[in-house]
Structure 1
């Protein structure tokens, strides 16, 4: 992007994007990392995010959408401040992940890909978070919690609710 063009991203993320497109021999190779950084900053892949990323790489918005829809970790609507991902893959499932997931649903009052009314939490069932040895496990944003039981859910939620309230 030229300096006179307005960006929806912070200067830090814009600079990271510029570095990414220079790093790869084919600019398009920077697409997935750019989408992940964009999602971290904006919260989801809005139409404006898709448009700017497409322009920065020099591809169409449709090309960006085609790639982005392939990856389940990329979102097209806002998630909660704390996105709870409950792994239900085989190792976690065998050690009680569905019971843990059901407890999160009960406590939060939302289902898969839901967001609480106050916007603090979102919940999703995911395939694998790479913590099989410590199953069942969840990831809240980029923080792992493992060896869980349904009884551990209220405490985890209280911890993050406290963070949301500045405690």
Structure 2
């Protein structure tokens, strides 16, 4: 069940796209930008508002790899494991991120919903390898030490924002 605030956010997104069925991908991108994933209630709501079958909306959401039906943290860290990054030792970087965040191969998001760690096949920045992104901001020439520092910096920024 959506709260009034959530419904208002979705109505605003739908209005920005003039309730056009043909804008479904852009609508989902905006929803994911807002929530860091596509909540089930939001998909049902937009299906109803756009007069589309829920199955159609879910088929779009599951077809595109960039959409997520699972909640993600405030900071989404993507570590590249493509060929260029892999040969330049991206695996120890991934292991450091996991260690620093208390994550594993099966647990990708911290309990406080602050961080999500994902591996991707390529980030398109092979010349900067090994590379990772945090909320799409590229961090080139990563090392395990830089990964640890990056997490500490993000945690410090969060702590100072709370005060």
TM surpasses 0.5: yes
Of 138, 142, 145, the residue aligned with 1:144 is 138
**C-alpha contact 1:9 1:41 (8 A) present in aligned 2:** no
The equivalences for 1:9-158 within 5 A come to 10=8, 14-21=11-18, 27-112=20-105, 114-158=108-152
Aligned-partner SS, 1:166: helix
Work out the CA distance in 1 between the residues paired with 2:127 and 2:79. Answer: 15
Task: Decide whether aligned partners of structure 1 residues 154 and 70 sit closer, same or farther in structure 2, where only a CA change above 3 A counts.
Answer: same
Partner SS for 2:76: strand
Matched residue of 1:29: which SS? helix
Aligned length: 157
- 1:39-83 deviation digits (Å, cap 9, x = unpaired): 111232112110122233331111111111122221212111111
Tell me if the contact between 2:13 and 2:31 (Cα under 8 Å) persists in the aligned partners.
no
Matched position secondary structure for 1:160: helix
Which one has a larger percent helix, Structure 1 or Structure 2? Answer: 2
Would you say the 8 A contact 2:88–2:130 is kept in 1?
A: yes
Question: Unaligned 5+ residue runs, structure 1?
Answer: 1-5
TM-score w.r.t. structure 2 length? Answer: 0.83
CA RMSD of aligned residues (A): 2.2
